[in-house]
């Protein structure tokens, strides 16, 4: 079984992984909204790389209010046009990424930059959208809880209450798969962007149910890629756009 997260538009690399006969788990962020290393992505295609780079730098310095001002100025007088352009570019990128999964045995959940409705619409034969449910896959009970932490209002963000409800619906599992990490500083802090996106609800679930493994992504440059929470081995499987590599679970 192979596991990836944070594909962010890397459809060619995903197609190579999907060409394997292994079962594939995809843990969200399939499209490239913004690559913070280069400022490229869907947002840059609409408002320009310079604007994205400026906003990224402001957010990294903690100047969120100023970043919001720059964004508002960039789209002033054309909010509806920008929204339409972003939606069209997202749909086109979902076509490419989901085409890479066509005909494979893949289970796909969503991340903070995803639009769950659009993702489900574009998934082809062989790939299944999963969220807030458990499945027996290769003899293991695997629970999926998609979505990202609330930060800037992207479609794939979920509230803490929604995340808690998803996890409550799972019950005990052998493997937990989410997009976001548990609220453990070594796993939840991005050392480059200096953002923290760990979920207390996921940490509470791990402490209560102690699955053997927890796989996730979201943090592109974490302090640690693996961590132990009680009996649970927590593993960050991203950043696939940069590495092009899947994590194998045997």
**What DSSP line would sit under the chain, residue for residue?**
-EEE---TT-HHHHHHHHTSSS-EEEES--S-S--TTT--SHHHHHH-HHHHHHHHHHHHTT-HHHHHHHHHHHTTT-HHHHHHHHHHHHHHHHHHHHHTTTTS-EEEE--TT--HHHHHHH--TTEEE--SEEEEETTEEEEEE--B-SSS--TTB--HHHHHHHHHHH-S-SEEEESSPBS-HHHHBBTTT--B--BHHHHHHHHHH--SEEEE---SSBS-SEEEETTEEEEE---HHHH--PEE--
What pLDDT does residue 194 have?
A: 64
Round to whole Å and give the CA distance between 62 and 58. 6
Determine the angle formed by the axes of helices 79-99 and 11-18, rounding to 10 degrees: 30
Round to whole Å and give the CA distance between 164 and 202. 8
Backbone angles phi, psi at 241, to 5 degrees: -60, -35
What pLDDT does residue 193 have?
A: 61
Round to whole Å and give the CA distance between 224 and 185. 9
Round to whole Å and give the CA distance between 244 and 43. 22
pTM tops 0.85 = yes
Per-residue pLDDT of the chain (250 residues; tens, 9 = 90+): 999 999 999 999 999 999 998 999 999 999 998 887 888 889 889 889 998 889 888 877 878 889 889 889 988 989 899 889 999 999 999 999 999 998 899 999 999 999 999 999 999 888 999 999 999 999 999 999 999 999 878 889 999 999 999 999 999 999 999 999 999 999 999 887 667 889 999 999 999 999 999 999 999 999 999 999 999 999 999 899 999 999 999 8
What pLDDT does residue 103 have?
A: 87
| Sheet containing strand 232-236, strands side by side | 133-137, 140-145, 175-178, 213-216, 232-236, 226-229
| Residue pointed to by tokens 């190579």 | 16
Q: Are strands 106-109 and 133-137 parallel, antiparallel or unpaired?
A: unpaired
What radius of gyration, in Å, describes the C-alpha atoms of the chain? 17
All domains of the chain in start order, with CATH: 2-32+100-248 (3.60.21.10)
Q: Which residues touch 214 (CB under 8 Å, ≥6 apart)?
A: 175, 176, 177, 178, 182, 202, 206, 229, 232, 233, 234, 235
What pLDDT does residue 171 have?
A: 96
């Amino acid at each position: 079984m192979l596991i990836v997260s944070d594909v962010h538009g890397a459809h060619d690399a995903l197609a190579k992984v999907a060409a394997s006969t292994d079962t594939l788990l995809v843990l969200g962020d399939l499209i490239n909204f913004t690559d913070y290393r280069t400022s490229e992505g869907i947002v840059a295609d609409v408002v320009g790389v310079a604007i994205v780079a400026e906003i990224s730098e402001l957010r990294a310095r903690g100047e969120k209010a100023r970043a919001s001002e720059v964004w508002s100025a960039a789209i002033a007088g054309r909010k509806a046009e920008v929204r339409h352009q972003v939606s069209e570019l997202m749909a086109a990128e979902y076509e490419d990424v989901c085409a890479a999964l066509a005909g494979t045995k893949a289970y796909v959940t969503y991340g903070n930059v995803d639009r769950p409705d659009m993702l489900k619409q574009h998934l082809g034969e062989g790939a299944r959208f999963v969220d807030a449910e458990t499945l027996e896959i290769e003899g293991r009970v695997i629970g999926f809880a998609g979505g990202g932490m609330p930060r800037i209002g992207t479609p794939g963000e979920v509230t803490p209450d929604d995340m808690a409800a998803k996890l409550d619906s799972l019950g005990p599992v052998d493997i937990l798969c989410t997009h976001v990490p548990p609220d453990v500083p070594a796993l939840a802090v991005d050392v480059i962007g200096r953002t923290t996106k760990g979920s207390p609800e996921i940490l509470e679930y791990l402490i209560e149910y102690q699955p053997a493994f927890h796989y996730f992504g979201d943090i592109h440059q974490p302090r640690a890629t693996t961590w132990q929470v009680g009996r649970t081995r927590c593993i960050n499987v991203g950043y696939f756009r940069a590495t092009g590599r899947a994590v194998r679970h045997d």
